[in-house]
Structures are given as structure tokens and as C-alpha cells.
Amino acid sequence: MKKVSRLKGFKLLCAALLLLGSIVILPLPAAKANYFNDLYNGLQKFSELPGEVNQLQESYQQTVEELQKTKDALGNAQDQMQNVQAQNAALQEQNRQLTQVVDELRDDRESRENYYNKIKVTIYTGIGLVVGYFVFIRLIRLGMRHRSRKEERLR
């Protein structure tokens, strides 16, 4: 029986050494039972909240200011666009009036040129009639003179 108890004792000793060796070799996770550190960290984070809220409020205020600036810039751009559209409409009306004046001037020039052409045709026709009259009279005189000479020769 002594042998059996020795064997049991040896097994128990080996098991104890194995357990002790595994505890030394393998690191055990640290226990997190430090309530004071957790409480301190929680209070610290809670005390930092007003600062973060202030930062958020400042950031919000900056965003609101930037939004207002953007709205003002957009309003100015819309005013400028309306001014440009009004100027464009005025320029289109002025362009229409100028086109109308140019058309009237062109029509007046064409009617003047037509009038001058009619006067030229009338003058050339008058000159042609006068020259034709003198040439016709001259031809008749020559014809009459020639006949009268012929008659004189015949007599």
C-alpha cells in the first residue's frame, strides 16, 4: 500500500508541478477590479463633455456664419444676374431699334438711288431726243436738198 500511496503522491506532485509551471509560463489576464480607476476615468470623461459641447457649439456657429456668407454671396450673384438680364434686355431693344434705323436708312438710300436713276434716264432720254431731233432735221434737210438738186438737174 505504501507503493500505491507513493505512486499517488508522485502523481499529485507531478500534477502540482505541471500546474505551477503552466502558471509561470502562461501569462494570466489581469483582473479588472479597479473600481476607483474606472470611476475616475468616467468622471474625467464626464468633465470633458462641456468642453466638447462648447467646441460643437463653436463649430455650429462657424457653420451658420459660413452658411450666411454663402447665402449673401448667392443673393449678390442673383442680383448681378438680374442686372445683367435687365441690361441684356435693354441692349436687345437698342439693337432692335438700331436695326430698324439701319433698315430705314437702307430703304431711303435705295429710293434715292432709284430717284437718281430715273433722273439720269430722263436726262439721257431728253438729250437723246434733242440730239435725235437735230439729226432728224438735218437728215430731212439733206434729203430735201438732195431732191431739190435732182429736180434742178432734170429741168
pLDDT value of residue 15: 76
The span from the CA of 19 to the CA of 12, in Å, is 10
Segments in the chain below pLDDT 50: none
∠ CA 75-81-83, nearest 5°, is: 105
pLDDT value of residue 112: 95
pLDDT value of residue 53: 79
pLDDT value of residue 31: 53
Residue matched to cell numbers 468642453: 51
What Rg, from alpha-carbon coordinates, does the chain have?
Answer: 63
Overall pTM > 0.75: no
Q: State phi, psi for 84 to the nearest 5 degrees.
A: -65, -40
